Amino acid sequence: MKYYVGIDLGGTNIVAGVVDEEYNIIAKASTKTNCPRPEKEIADDMAKMAVEAVRNAKLTMNDIQWIGVGTPGIANSEKGIIEYSNNLGFNNTPMVKYIQETIDKPVFIENDANAAAYGEFVAGAAKGARNAVCITLGTGVGGGIIIDGKIYSGSNFAGAEIGHTVIEVDGAQCSCGRKGCFEAYSSATGLIRMTKEAIAEHPDCIMAKSEKERGKVTARTSFDCMRAGDKYAKAVVDKYIKYLAAGITNTINIFQPDVLCIGGGVCNEGDPLLLPMKELVAKEVYTRNSPKNTEIVIAKLGNDAGIIGAAFLGKAK
């Protein structure tokens, strides 16, 4: 049996997993990212987690083929440099070199959403597809594109940033500097913003009460309060779904993948999110009258997608 290590570097957690050649995660190790802090410290912790995960798997580094890393931002996979990652505070960080100072193995890096898409492609909801696009609805909206079984990251390692395509000109401010990005509406962060806006407009609604009781607004507030009968919450959910459907329809119109996979916590809402979204997409997509169309599915692997995809980066390009 061959083994690989995949590391998912996130704004909150660093998770390393040992993955066998049948795509099973056999052991993990994790720690807090604790950013902002010096990039070398983060890299050292990543190497530490890799070593710990291997130990937890009762293996040694000799059993490991290579290490793969998924990171938010722009990952130059040829030079092994994370060129830019705003939430981690990275600028031209030589991640591969740093990790190899501790571990003498080949190290591959890739954007986190690309790695997660690859994970879903090799072992999850996009398994068996030739062309697949995965969209993650999390803190941001991540995009990963698989064409003919390989990760497509474009030139300059900066492609597949589906989250930063504008769906509302002059719309809500995005963290990338543009206004009206898909990410500004369809991320969990975007949903929370729209929920807060509605609460400010309707201070007596059920969402406002929920905020007072819990002391916070989350990505679930609007869905929960809609179920409790709040018409303003339903309006937020409807708006969220409308934007999500627009972003997904755009993506299908560009790529016409066999499978479009969506992941991230918001997908746990299930049918109340998915059914109306799929209905809107079906009405609008360019191929609406074609006998064959892109299948929209929910990601299967959750947070493990990023680890499994990272672990197989040695085969991804």
Site residues for ligand BMX per CB under 6 A: 11, 72-73, 85-87, 111-113, 136, 138-142, 163, 183
Taking the complex as a whole, the smallest distance from the CB of residue 110 to ligand BMX amounts, in Å, to: 10
Taking the complex as a whole, the smallest distance from the CB of residue 74 to ligand BMX amounts, in Å, to: 7
What is the chain's length? 317
Specify the residue, 174 or 252, whose C-beta has the smaller distance to Zn ion: 174
Q: Binder to Zn ion among 26, 158, 172, 176 (CB under 5 A)?
A: 176
Q: Binder to Zn ion among 80, 115, 151, 164 (CB under 5 A)?
A: 164
Tokens, residue 309: 């995809």
Q: Is 55 in the site for Zn ion (CB under 5 A)?
A: no
Q: Which does 181 bind (CB under 5 to 8 A by kind): Zn ion, ligand BMX, none?
A: Zn ion
Question: Looking up tokens 């995809």, which residue turns up?
Answer: 309
Specify the residue, 181 or 261, whose C-beta has the smaller distance to Zn ion: 181
Question: Looking up tokens 């795509």, which residue turns up?
Answer: 23
Of 20-28, 83-91, 156-164, 234-242, which part binds Zn ion (CB under 5 A)? 156-164
143-147: long-range contacts, CB 8 A cutoff, minimum separation 24: 143/113, 143/117, 143/251, 144/111, 144/113, 144/114, 144/115, 144/116, 144/117, 144/118, 145/114, 145/117, 145/255, 145/257, 146/117, 146/118, 146/121, 146/257
Tokens, residue 6: 């995949």
Taking the complex as a whole, the smallest distance from the CB of residue 213 to Zn ion amounts, in Å, to: 33
Specify the residue, 65 or 86, whose C-beta has the smaller distance to ligand BMX: 86
Taking the complex as a whole, the smallest distance from the CB of residue 89 to Zn ion amounts, in Å, to: 18
Specify the residue, 106 or 171, whose C-beta has the smaller distance to Zn ion: 171
Q: Is 74 in the site for Zn ion (CB under 5 A)?
A: no
Whether the CB-CB separation of 48 and 80 falls below 8 Å is answered with no
Chain residue at closest Cβ approach to ligand BMX = 140
Whether the CB-CB separation of 131 and 294 falls below 8 Å is answered with no
Q: Which does 257 bind (CB under 5 to 8 A by kind): ligand BMX, Zn ion, none?
A: none
Q: Which does 73 bind (CB under 5 to 8 A by kind): ligand BMX, Zn ion, none?
A: ligand BMX
* 306 vs 8: CA distance, rounded Å: 6
Rg, the chain, Cα only:
20
Taking the complex as a whole, the smallest distance from the CB of residue 153 to ligand BMX amounts, in Å, to: 11
Q: Which does 138 bind (CB under 5 to 8 A by kind): Zn ion, ligand BMX, none?
A: ligand BMX
Tokens, residue 19: 């993955």
Taking the complex as a whole, the smallest distance from the CB of residue 138 to ligand BMX amounts, in Å, to: 3
Tokens, residue 289: 């009258």
Specify the residue, 168 or 224, whose C-beta has the smaller distance to Zn ion: 168
Taking the complex as a whole, the smallest distance from the CB of residue 38 to ligand BMX amounts, in Å, to: 18
* 178 vs 212: CA distance, rounded Å: 32
Which DSSP string corresponds to 187-253? SHHHHHHHHHHHHHH-TTSHHHHHHHHHSS--TTHHHHHHHTT-HHHHHHHHHHHHHHHHHHHHHHH
Q: By the criterion CB under 5 A, which residues form the site for Zn ion?
A: 164, 174, 176, 178, 181
